[in-house]
Structures are given as structure tokens and as C-alpha cells.
Structure 1
Amino acid sequence: MKLSVILKTLNEEKRIGAAIESVIAALKALPDAESEIIVADSGSRDRTVEIASKYPVVVAQIQAPATASCGVGPQLGFQYSKGEFTCLMDGDMLLDPTFLPEAFDYLDKNPRVAGVSGDINEVNLDNLEFTRRVQRIASQVKHGVRDRLNGGGIYRRVAIEEAGYFSDRNLHAFEEFDLAQRLRLRGWTLYLLDRRYVDHFGHSINSYILLTRRWSTKYLFGTGELLRAAWRQGRLKAVIQENPEMKLWLGVYVWWALLIVFLIGGIFHPAWLSGFAVVLLLPVLVMMLKKKSVSLGLYAIVAWCFHAAALPFGLFAPRRNPTDWIESKLLKP
């Protein structure tokens, strides 16, 4: 058995050394397996590549005209990999030292399982975005057969090749769901083990600054990009059905339309302005009560607005063939 561990990175100088060391330590639990570690870098401007190059790893970095996205990193690493299994992680994650043997035991016993993962332990919870994520995950049935493996996992190469490609370079988000759906449509399944996969450190910056950064990096365009990809590949209905946030964004558009109606009506009938205030504040108050937090409730509404506003930009963004070779250079073979 040969395992390729792909660490996707973009300006991860603070964590990349520890991430690589955690993988090296975890691989010791598979003494009979061949392994390789590939750092797939999306154009870091800090010391990520310099630090990673000090370790026994392969370092590949995108080159123009390729551009950074959540989807480009996994595919970049995959195109240089040789393993029959691929383990995908972010450059700010630490691999649990005992995860690999249990994961491969499950894969060995279940040949039609394309990928397996475990729990993502979010370390930085001072950020509202990651606090919301943890709450959302905790409210769902977590373990067992899943429709996607968020945060990475171990995949069979034969399943990925059957699905066409590992990750869509055009996607700035939802790349893991996109892969999962392509696998499931071909009869493969995905499984989430009831145990830890990685520790994830994530962003520690202000949540609202993170939102604006996600706009500038096009991360928020991912919803529209996914819809466009699914439409071209005949998966649009399935994507909408399996992602309830799509209906949420539609609800945001209706909310905005009502606000505009009441605002315009207020020009001619001042009493309508009270209706405008009610329509504006009601969703905010409902979310504050639901989250049992003023800050989380308000942030949820603002995040919804950012996502809804970004959707058309992703929907009409140009696409490249996701099977094309990603322009890149091996900085450390």
C-alpha cells in the first residue's frame, strides 16, 4: 500500500512545520506502508515554502495562469501524487497520531467506501465563524455514512479517477461537497468515523474582517461557482436539494425585496417605514434568540447577506476544464 498525504497551503508559515511533523509522527503507525508527503502550495507569500522545504516532503506550487482557490490545492497535490490512497489536510491542521490504522482498517473491510474521515477539532473558537461551524456540526448526526467529508480525509485513488478529478480548480468553496457528490453518483459512499481526525487551528482574526477577506479571496463566490459547475454537468437539481443553504440565500433575496418595497413605500406613506423597521429587525431578533447570543445572531445575518451578495459573482464566473493540468512547478522534488 502507498499513501500520499497532501497538505494544501496558502500562507501557513505559523503552522506548516507542526502540520508536517504531525504527519511524519502519524505515519509511524503504518510501518509497512510506503508514503509520501506533498505540500501543495497555492502561491504563499510568506515563509511557508521555505519552512516546508526543510522536511522530507515534495513541494509543488502553482504558477500563472493558475490562481489560488480552495479547489486548486487538492488537485495540484493529486496530480503529483503516486499513492493508491490520498490523505488530504490543510496546512494548519495536526493529524491525530492514531487515526490512520483505524481508517485503513475500515477501508479494507468496506471496498465500496471511497473516503473516510473523522471529527475536526476546532481549536480557535474566539472567532464567531468557527463557533457557528462547531454549533452547526454538533446539531447534525455526525458519524456514519455522510454526503461529504468536510475538512479532508482519506480517499481511494481508483474512486477519484472514476469521478474524473480530485478537486475542481474553479471552486473557491464547496470543493469537498463537489467531490463527494461526483463519487456518490458513481455508487461510492463516504464514512465519518466516531473519532478525531485532526486538530484545526483556523483563523484567529476578527470575524467581520474574515468575511471581507473571504470576499476579496472569492471564497464567498463558491456557492455560485458550485451551481455553475453542477449545471454544466447535469447535477444542478441534486446540488440544490442537498444544500439547504441554497434555499436560505433565496430567502435573503426575498427579505431584501421586502425591505426595498417598504423603503420605497415609505417615500409616499411614512407609516410604511415602521413596516420597514419590523422587516429589518425581525430576522435579526429571531437569530439572536435561536443562537442565544446577540453577537452570534447578528453575525449570522451579516454572513448570510455576504453569501447571498456573492452568489451571482460565482455563478457567472468563467470556468476552466477541471481535468486540465494545473500550471505549477516542483520546488522540491
Structure 2
Amino acid sequence: MTTVDVVVVNWNGAEVVGDCLRSVVAHRSEHEVRIVLVDNDSRDDSLVVARDAAPGASVVRTGENLGFAGGVQAGIAASDGDVVVLLNNDATLVAGFVDAAVARLLGSPSLGAVTGRLLLLEPRADGVRLINSTGVEITASGNGRDRDWLRAEDEGSGSPREVFGLCGGAAALRRTALDDVGGFDPTLFLYYEDTDLSWRLRLAGWAIEYEREATVLHRHAHSTVEGSPLFVRQNTRNRLVVATRYAPPSVVLRAWAATIVRTARLGVSASLGRGSRDTARAVRRGLASAVGALPRDLATRRRWNRRSALSSSARRSLISR
């Protein structure tokens, strides 16, 4: 029997975390499934709700908001299962998730991670559910994106098994693979933390695959608001940071050039009263933070270039067009 630790990171999620934890408690599996709840210093009733929903869960209190990246890493450090399942606090497991993901993961010794199928919780007016993610892709300009985003559920049935990266909202990871590449980077805080880990897994020679039968239902963007200054700043910064660390040179150059041009355009628009000053400021701050991180990120790039199990052409083949 394989031990599976389901790590759920929570911050002020009293509205949703109960449903999430109850879905894990009710989940039936041939493996030993344990819950590790990481609470990022919530100020609402999250811990009360969690205790009622999953009284047997291990609770890690960080004492501060470490973001998703730091919270996940705290949960991994506090657990010792053979497999770590990541589950967003605003997602619920569908029957069969654990067994399908673990079977795929342990079926091949080269697999470092299995990414699940995330479906949006609320269906369309015609009753059809839309896909949130079947894994992560990287574009030629360094953008990370959810594969099959907003496609109808049935349209994603033929998605290739192999995918560049895992979606941190619902994935199963081999403990030895996490140990091999160092787990999640807490400095990323929010966004691109799963892309960062996926790059390291790939460069270390681990494969990542998608498992359709490992399904969750997800309330997309419940914890953070798309387009908010936090969202814009973190996405701007972390896209550049992660590209600089691992991506092919052409991708790095496109990512930086596009961000510099975007920063200038937004600044001009805001000064003329034609655009949001908050958005312009958030992009500018994200760019400045990425510039400040360049020495560290270039050192990381040199280190992973020396270690990489992929040729330059193999690395380029991971980029979506």
C-alpha cells in the first residue's frame, strides 16, 4: 500500500475549505490517504471549519502568509508519504482521483508527476462543464497557460498524455522526484510556482503526464482576483523569473522584450488617462522585482544548465507554439 499525503494550502478560505476537506475524507482509495492542511495564518474561521470537516487531518500553522508556494513546501516538509497530492482549497476530489493518479505515477519509474483534470465547478447554461486545466504549457514568449482552458469537457478527452508541466491545483508527485529537484520555491509566493517545479523536473530527466481519470471540480480564482494588482504584479515578476532560470534563450528574450514594451505602453496610457494606473504600477513593480532577482536567477540558470538531462533541442521542443 502506498501512503498518499494530500496537501491543502489555505488562507482565509472558510467558505470553501470545508467542502474540499470533506471530499478527501469521503474519498475511497486502495491506498492510505492522509490530509495535511497548511494554514497561512488565516484570520477567519478556517481552522474551525477544517476541524469539523476533517478532524483527523494534520494541521501545519505557518504563522504568516507564505503564499501557495511557501505553503505547499511547508506541507511537503511536514509529511512523509510516498506520493504528495496537491489540491487547491477551492477544489473537490471526484471519485477515483487518487487511485488513477497513483497508478499512473507508479506505473513508470521515470514519471515525476501526474497532473489531473480540473473542471470548472459551475457548468454552462446548457449543463456542459468546461475544462480549467489538463496541465500547463509554455508559450514562445514565456507565458504559462492551462492546456485546454475553457474547452468543453468532452473536447478534452483526446488530450495527449504527455504535457510540459503540472497544474498545482490538482496533481500527484513522487516524493523521490520532489527530493531530487528541491520541491517548490517559496520565493515565488503565488503563480508560476508549478511551472518552476515542472522545469526542474524536466531538466532533471523526470517525465510529467496527464491523467484524465484524476478529476477535480474547481472554483477558479476564488482566492485571488484575476486582474488585481497582486495578480498582475506576481504574474509579471514570476513569468520573467521562471523563464530566465530555465527557458531557451529565445523565449527569455521574448519574455523580457514583451514585458518592457508592455510596461512602457501601460505607463503612457495611464499618464494620458486612458488606462488603469493600478495595472501600470503593478506591471512596473513586477518588472522591477524581476530585474532585482536577475543575479540570483542567472546563477540558477547556470546551475541547471550544468545539470540538465535535456539537449538544447529537447528543451526547445517543450515550448508550445
Do Structure 1 and Structure 2 share a fold, with TM-score over 0.5?
Answer: yes
Q: Which residue of 2 aligns with 1:293?
A: none
1:54-73, CA deviations, whole angstroms, 9 ceiling, x for partnerless residues?
32101112125xx4322111
Does the CA contact (< 8 Å) of 2:112 and 2:207 recur in 1? yes
Q: Which residue of 2 aligns with 1:294?
A: none
CA RMSD of aligned residues (A): 4.0
Does the CA contact (< 8 Å) of 1:122 and 1:201 recur in 2? yes
Counterpart of 1:83 in 2: which secondary structure? coil
1:188-226, CA deviations, whole angstroms, 9 ceiling, x for partnerless residues?
011112345211113469x9x6533xx24x673244245
- Residue of structure 2 aligned with 1:88, choices 82, 86, 106: 86
- Residue of structure 1 aligned with 2:290, choices 312, 315, 324: 315
Q: Does 1:252 align with 2:262?
A: yes
Q: Does 1:168 align with 2:178?
A: no
1:17 & 1:88 partners in 2: Cα distance? 16
Deviation of 1:311 after TM superposition, in Å, equals 2.3
1:73 & 1:210 partners in 2: Cα distance? 20
2:243 & 2:95 partners in 1: Cα distance? 37
Bigger Cα displacement from structure 2, 93-102 vs 301-310: 301-310
Does the CA contact (< 8 Å) of 1:225 and 1:317 recur in 2? no
- Residue of structure 2 aligned with 1:121, choices 102, 106, 119: 119
Amino acid corresponding to residue 16 of structure 1 in structure 2: V
1:192 & 1:242 partners in 2: Cα distance? 26
For normalisation by structure 1, the TM-score amounts to: 0.67
1:91-130, CA deviations, whole angstroms, 9 ceiling, x for partnerless residues?
111011112222222122211111112221122589xxx8
Q: Does 1:44 align with 2:10?
A: no
Distance 1:239 1:145, change over 3 A: farther
Q: Greater Rg, structure 1 or structure 2?
A: 1
Q: Which residue of 1 aligns with 2:233?
A: 220
Amino acid corresponding to residue 252 of structure 1 in structure 2: R
Q: Does 1:154 align with 2:172?
A: yes
Does the CA contact (< 8 Å) of 1:117 and 1:197 recur in 2? no
Q: Which residue of 1 aligns with 2:24?
A: 23
Give the paired residue count: 268
Higher relative contact order (CA 8 A, sep 6+): 1
2:62 & 2:227 partners in 1: Cα distance? 25
Amino acid corresponding to residue 70 of structure 1 in structure 2: F
Amino acid corresponding to residue 215 of structure 2 in structure 1: Y
For normalisation by structure 2, the TM-score amounts to: 0.69
> Mind listing any 5+ residue stretches in structure 2 that lack a counterpart?
125-131, 134-144, 297-321
Amino acid corresponding to residue 100 of structure 1 in structure 2: V
Q: Does 1:211 align with 2:227?
A: yes
Q: Which residue of 1 aligns with 2:307?
A: none
1:8-61, CA deviations, whole angstroms, 9 ceiling, x for partnerless residues?
1111111111111111222x222xx22310001112111111211232101112
> In proportion to residue count, which structure has more helix?
1
